[in-house]
Amino acid sequence: MRKSCAVLSLCTFLIFLIAFTTSLAAQNASPLQEDTGWNAYTSLQGSTNSQEGVLKLDNRVGYDFNKHFGVGGGVPIYFAHTSTSTTSGDTSNAGVGNVYLDARVKFLNPAINYGSVLTLNTPTGDSKKGLSTGRATYDWSNRFDRSFDRLTPFFEIGVSNTIADTRFFTRPFTTLGTNTHFEGGASYDLWRFITAGASLYDVLPSGQQKVFSKLVNRGASGGVGSGKNGRVFEQNAETVGSADIARDNGFSTWIEASPSKYLDLELGYTRSVHYDLNTVSFGIGVNVGRLAKRARQ
């Protein structure tokens, strides 16, 4: 009951922020100054499929030195549940994840744009709940894109010792083990502030992998799902094995809208071929830093 109330409170808070930002944008639509200095961003992401669902509230604060370089950090809060339970295992979970720090680089060029993000995760989450691996982890991701009128093809490549959440797949597990991840696709500007996109992704782990479930607590008497197609996170709190237990590939498609300079909305679908999962996701983001700047102006 307490977890349900907490989720309801978070959703109510985000709805209030959406209404506030939309109202503020309508009252004052003059151009913003270049976003340098302190910034803050709050987002609520959710992923659900026939087996499980995960909500993530992420609060990030950063500092942009100029248009090329910036640093930041934040803390995610997770709420996980299963749609069905085949045994007596836990069916819901919640808690604070790993506090993270990141450094961002961006260079815009007529030939090709380049962006890079290095993220370091501290082991502050509870590994018994699958919110951490119990060790520090990193992810280094690089993006290349170029716009041709309304069409923007992109390609991303990264190396990591954990599998990070994506914009359209908040994963019901955490991993520890080396991997290389790829994503390639394109986005298309449909109309004013509305964009659609699609991409293919692949996660290629190497060596020993550990998978920590956000759905099954350590010490639980059983799993919370079928465990088919390599979904070990539905059966065990922690699984140690070869690279196959963390491998994943599939595709995503989405539509996003930014009706104001303060608000981002997303709706997506991800098909995990490896796990045989069809996941629907949503995202609500509020640029709190821009709101604060506008209030001071």
* pLDDT tens digits for range 251-278: 999 999 999 989 999 999 999 999 999 9
pLDDT bucket at 155, cuts 50 / 70 / 90: very high
The yes-or-no verdict on residue 89 having pLDDT over 60 is: no
Q: Specify the CATH number for the domain of residue 223.
A: 2.40.160.40
CB 290 within 8 A of CB 262: yes
The yes-or-no verdict on residue 282 having pLDDT over 50 is: yes
Q: Within a 13 Å sphere around the CA of 289, how many CA atoms are in the beta-carbon half?
A: 18
Q: What mean pLDDT do residues 118-130 have?
A: 92
pLDDT bucket at 215, cuts 50 / 70 / 90: confident
| Count of domains observed in the chain | 1
CB 45 within 8 A of CB 73: no
CB 291 within 8 A of CB 262: yes
The yes-or-no verdict on residue 32 having pLDDT over 90 is: no
> What residues make up the domain containing 252?
2-296
The model's pTM: 0.82
- Per-residue CA distances from 128 to 77, 133, 138 (Å): 15, 9, 20
